[in-house]
Structure formats: structure tokens, C-alpha cells
Amino acid sequence: MKIDPGNGLKLLCAQCRLPLVSAPVTVRYLGQAFPVELPRCPQCGYTYVPEDLATGKMLQVEQALEDK
């Protein structure tokens, strides 16, 4: 699958110039692992984390784990 961020444009890997595709990724923090799907470059493996995800749900999960 090719990734369209919603504005009609495809996300491209800046290094490989290839469209990012949705791929399974495991994110880890403080011993916990979360299987998610994120846009990733099919060639170099660069993974894109949207800003609203990083500052939204991911931050909430980090804080919850820090608080345990």
C-alpha cells in the first residue's frame, strides 16, 4: 500500500525516493512492546512516525508506563 497523508500527496522516503508503505513495526518502551503499523520505506526501512501520533497517543503511553 502506498501512503497518502490526506492531502493527495504520497509520502516519499527522502533518501530512496520511494513511496512509503504500511508495514508492521514493534515499538518498545520501558520493557513493553506494542505491535503497530506505520509507514516505512520498502528499501531502507526508514519508518515515519506522524507528529500527531508521537505527541498524542505515543506520549500518553510513555507517561502511563513511567507512572506505573
Residue 11 neighbours by CB under 8 Å, 6+ apart? 3, 4, 5, 19, 20, 39, 48
Nearer to other proteins, 15 or 29 (CB): 29
Q: Is 35 in the site for other proteins (CB under 8 A)?
A: yes
What binding mask, one character per residue, do residues 43-62 give for other proteins by CB under 8 A, x or -? -----x-x-xx--xxxxxx-
- Separation CA 66–CA 47 (nearest Å): 24
The residues in 14-33 that bind other proteins, with binding defined as CB under 8 A, are 20-22, 30, 32
Q: And the C-alpha cell for 9?
A: 500527496
Does the footprint of other proteins cover residue 37 (CB under 8 A)?
yes
